[in-house]
Amino acid sequence: MNRSVATILAIILVILGVIGYGSVFTVHETQQALVLQFGNPIKTVQESGLNFKTPFVQNVQFMEKRILDFDAPPVEAVAADKKRIVVDAYARFRIADPLEFYKTVNNEITARNRLAPIVNSSLRNVIGRVGFEAILSGARAKLMHEIRGLVNDEAVKMGIEIIDVRIKRADLPAANSQAVYDRMRAERKRIATEIRAEGAERSQKITADADRQRTILLADAQKSADITRGEGDALRNKVFADAYKQDPEFFGFYRSLQAYRTALQSGDTTMVLSPNSDFFSYFGNSMGSAGKAAAK
């Protein structure tokens, strides 16, 4: 009898434990919960802590309370200046109304699938009203704010709040990119050609100016040299003339020695002259005419 009572008590305790376990649930700081009764939402819990529910009748669906990221698929849009661009954007959102979120999309996967066309449609709408340059300029922040507002107007119907929308990349299509690259390359090549031409022109001017200055310097140096050489020759001739006046015979002897040194400077010089030539007048004897003059 005692064993039966113990068994019954144990069963009762297990049942109570199961009922107690099914009556409580914990909401973490990063979560929010929606209490459902037979699939119908009856209560929203957004504060963290321990909460109670009716066991076996009610169940809990947890949802993220943190900010979530969403990468929209790339979309091709046409700007106001008729340029086609490929835009890759992302959004940051959070579940602001768990009840509305559950009623409209039920889960994150469905919510992301619903957000993709909304984001892309808003991008096309805003980009279609501005030029391509505006997307790359300082006005981009204003465009992003406008896009976020359009996306949020639709997302709020799903219980979602859009925190931010940003464009990661805005590129021209491949064919347009190649055409733009070719134009940029041609333009840079033209600029480089102009710079080289200007450099060559400046080089020619500098070279011509340097040659002109060189010619002037050489002419001035030649002029100075000629003047100095002329003055030296004049002084030399004067010295020779004064020496000739003092001793004509010795001066003639000296000039003959200079002529001998100049004519006989090379070792292979051969001269054929008459013995009676005036060139050898001082070879007649060791004293030459100078000796005769001294004897007189």
Partners of 77 in the β-ladder:
85
| CATH number of the domain within which 153 lies | 3.30.479.30
Of the candidates 172, 193, 216, which is a domain's last residue?
172
What is the mean pLDDT of each successive set of 10 residues along the chain, which is 296 residues long?
A: 72 74 82 87 85 81 91 85 84 92 90 92 88 76 89 92 88 67 84 91 91 90 89 82 72 72 65 63 51 40
Same domain, 55 and 79: no
The pTM assigned to this predicted structure is: 0.53
CA distance 42 to 49: 18
Same domain, 8 and 99: no
On whether the CB atoms of residues 154 and 105 are closer than 8 A, the answer is no
User: How high is the pLDDT of residue 293?
Assistant: 42
Of the candidates 45, 64, 83, which is a domain's last residue?
64
CA distance 286 to 261: 18
CA distance 105 to 101: 6
Q: Is residue 134 included in any domain, yes or no?
A: yes
Same domain, 82 and 145: yes
Q: Is residue 104 included in any domain, yes or no?
A: yes
Same domain, 105 and 121: yes
Q: Is residue 119 included in any domain, yes or no?
A: yes
Q: Is residue 78 included in any domain, yes or no?
A: yes
CB within 8 Å of 25: residues ≥ 6 apart: 33, 50, 51, 52, 53, 60
Which is nearest to 113 in space by CA: 77, 72, 159?
A: 72
User: How high is the pLDDT of residue 291?
Assistant: 42
Same domain, 37 and 93: no
User: How high is the pLDDT of residue 139?
Assistant: 77
Same domain, 77 and 124: yes
CA distance 287 to 103: 145
Q: What is the pLDDT of residues 229-251, one digit of tens each?
A: 888 888 887 877 777 777 677 77
Same domain, 84 and 113: yes
Same domain, 80 and 155: yes
Same domain, 160 and 80: yes
Q: Is residue 41 included in any domain, yes or no?
A: yes
Q: Is residue 231 included in any domain, yes or no?
A: no
Distance of CA 93 to the CA centre of its chain: 35
Of the candidates 30, 49, 64, which is a domain's last residue?
64
Q: Is residue 187 included in any domain, yes or no?
A: no
Number of domains in the chain: 3
Same domain, 80 and 59: no
User: How high is the pLDDT of residue 70?
Assistant: 92
Which is nearest to 135 in space by CA: 177, 102, 86?
A: 86
Same domain, 25 and 84: no
Q: Which residue has the tokens 């710079």?
A: 195
CA distance 91 to 148: 8
Quickly count: other Cβ atoms within 10 Å of residue 167's Cβ.
19
Q: Is residue 151 included in any domain, yes or no?
A: yes
Quickly count: other Cβ atoms within 10 Å of residue 121's Cβ.
14
On whether the CB atoms of residues 47 and 99 are closer than 8 A, the answer is no
Owning domain of residue 167: 68-172
Same domain, 77 and 144: yes
